[in-house]
Homo-oligomer: A and B are copies of this chain.
Amino acid sequence: MVVGETVDGGGRDALGPERLVWMYTQMYRIRQFEERVKSTFTEHPGTIRGHTHLADGAEASIVGCIATLAPGDQVLSSYRCHGYPIALGSDTKLMMAEIYGKATGLCGGLGGSMHLYDPARGFLGGSGIVGQHLPHAAGAAWAAQIRRRGEVVVCFFGDGASKQGAFHESLNIASLWKLPVVYVMENNRYNASTRSDQEDANAAAGEPLSTKATAYSMEGTTVDGGDPVAVHATMVEALARARAGEGPTLVESLVYRLSAHGNLIAPPGVPLHYPEHEAIAIFGNRAEYESALRGDPVPRFRHRLVTDGVLGASDADALEAAAREEIDESQRFALDSRLPEPDSGLAYVYA
């Protein structure tokens, strides 16, 4: 199996009605999946361990990006990594089972929520150490450059990660070598419980974070990450540039996460759950959070497709019901699966 062989973004197709509905379907599937992960904490306490991070609020951005990809392309991300493989075609049963730590999981329960891998679909994994996967993307892009098949690597990361040295080192080389990589910063305005303007000199100065591209003589642009069509258009340009050997792009995609950074962090014994969003819990800024909720990209896109006549309301209901059923089924699969054998990791320490 060649890495990325079965990437299913359909990126070489035009954005007709069918593709738009496909995009909405993926957004809705991701949201369903995330909500199910979240509700597991209350409905099946103890099933999910450690730290999970949800993509709710970022679905439009994720799908707008993935929809531009074609077979052979590759994707890397941070620990906030549930959305990409879903859009790339990974099996949500295996994903949920992984998050539930089951033997049937995508990685047999060895990886967990932060470390999904599905290389056959082009997903090279989520790294848990902030910023450290940006050079991996550059390396994969170097491989793509040498292979000369016009393949591109897309690397997703957070606004906070752009303060890590790895960001700087990677973007300089990517630009210098004109690597076929697109760096997509999902700027959700927070690094955990720190607001961007408390940690980023551009943000503090009221400038977009895509300004950073200047330091690498690289294209940089900011897009409304709540609008999958706008994201798609931006990415089509960035990918064309990359495929043509004209070098990388830094895309700042403005999103807002609708859940807290992650579930509560605590030693065993303390029940894990999702606290309130930091805007409220730390900064007492309910207005900011509620305005973000009102802009929720999933209903927003549905409304648009229905209004534009691209998608009938009942068709929308039907695809949503199908997605819910899929995720019901994924959850059942995950719940019913057994835990891995205790010694099952030892075979994978070395290749």
Question: Does A176 contact B164, Cβ atoms closer than 8 Å?
Answer: no
Closest to A169 in B: B165
Q: How many copies does the complex hold?
A: 2
Residue-by-residue, is A150-190 near B (CB-CB < 8 Å gives 1, otherwise 0)?
Answer: 00000000000001111111011101100000000000000
Flag if B201 contacts A211 (CB, 8 Å): no
Nearest chain B residue, comparing its CB with the CB of A212: B215
Which of B164, B165, B172, B202 touches A201 (beta carbons < 8 Å)? Answer: B172
Residues of B within 8 A of A212 (CB): 215
Q: Is chain A's binding surface mostly helix, strand, loop or mixed?
A: helix
CA of A168 to CA of B166 in the docked complex: distance in angstroms? 9
Please give, as numbers and ranges, the residues of chain B lying within 8 Å of A176 by CB-CB distance: 199-201, 204
A214 within 8 A of B: yes
A164-B175 CB under 8 A given contacts A217-B201, A217-B205: no
Q: Is A255 an interface residue (CB 8 A)?
A: no
Measured CB to CB, the nearest residue on chain B to A202 is: B217
A215 to chain B, nearest CB (A): 4
- Chain A residues 120-149 with CB under 8 Å of chain B are none
Q: Which listed residue, B167, B204, B211, B215, touches A202 by the CB 8 Å rule?
A: B215
A211 to B204, CA, bound (A): 19
A142 to chain B, nearest CB (A): 15
A207 within 8 A of B: yes
CB A331 to nearest CB in B, in angstroms, measures 41
Residues of A within 8 A of B (CB): 163-169, 171-173, 175-176, 199-202, 204-205, 207, 211-212, 214-218
